[in-house]
């Protein structure tokens, strides 16, 4: 099983600051287990797991909403309760848009591409993120239509990685 390391992104854009923590493997870490194609360990997951927390500047943000879209189709909608934590299990080899929102706060989107090579054993640790929503002057949610970041499989590290877009 690959070991995660924590990466923190500080996204500063006009009018708001977004802090995103992501889990990725240590670049020096190599996969030590060799898996037989005829026997797959029970610990391997059939889904890509995204876990994290939604907050507003570190403060508790109750009753925010997490929506997951495959293309333009809503496949899951979850109300994130007062503990601010969420978990989403996404199928491999698909593209998703994950939307974080709450009325009175900016809405943020992250693109998630779960495509992995056929020869990958899919024993990935949960990918951890932290999303900060910024309060706005009106009670309506301010939608940022373009993703503020993306999560994708990076063959160079043989694990999922992330990127933050600074121009949105």
pLDDT tens figures, 43-99: 445 789 999 989 887 777 888 999 999 999 999 999 988 678 899 999 999 999 999
pLDDT-derived band of residue 143, with 50, 70 and 90 as boundaries?
low
Average pLDDT over residues 8-26: 43
Average per-residue pLDDT for the chain: 75
- Reply yes or no on whether the pLDDT at 11 is more than 70: no
> Widest CA span of the chain, in angstroms?
58
- Reply yes or no on whether the pLDDT at 10 is more than 70: no
For residues 101, 46, 158, 27, the Cα torsion angle rounded to the nearest 10 degrees is: 60
CA atoms of 74 and 70, how far apart (whole Å):
7
DSSP, residue by residue, 130-143: EEE--B-SSSSPEE
- The pLDDT score that the predictor gives to residue 142 is 61
DSSP, residue by residue, 12-79: EETTEEEEEEEEEE-TT--------TT---TTS-SEEEEEEEEEETTEE-TTEEEEEEETTEEEEEEE
Among 117, 95, 114, 130, which residue's Cα sits nearest to residue 20? 130
Token pair, residue 166, equals 């600074």
> Which is it for strands 149-154 and 106-113: parallel, antiparallel or unpaired?
parallel
CA atoms of 49 and 55, how far apart (whole Å):
20
């Amino acid at each position: 099983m690959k070991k995660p390391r924590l990466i923190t992104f500080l996204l500063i854009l006009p009018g708001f600051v977004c802090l995103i923590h992501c889990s990725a493997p240590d670049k020096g870490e190599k996969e030590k287990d060799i898996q037989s194609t005829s026997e797959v360990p029970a610990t391997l997951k059939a889904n890509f797991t995204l876990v994290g927390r939604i907050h507003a500047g570190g403060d508790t943000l109750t009753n925010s909403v997490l929506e997951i879209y495959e293309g333009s189709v809503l496949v899951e909608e979850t109300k994130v309760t007062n503990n601010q934590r969420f978990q989403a299990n996404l199928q491999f080899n698909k593209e998703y848009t994950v939307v974080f929102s709450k009325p009175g706060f900016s809405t943020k989107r992250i693109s998630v591409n779960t495509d992995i090579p056929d020869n990958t054993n899919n024993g990935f640790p949960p990918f951890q993120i932290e999303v900060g929503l910024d309060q706005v002057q009106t009670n309506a949610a301010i939608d940022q239509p373009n993703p503020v970041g993306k999560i994708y499989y990076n063959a160079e590290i043989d694990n999922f990685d992330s990127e933050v877009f600074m121009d949105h």
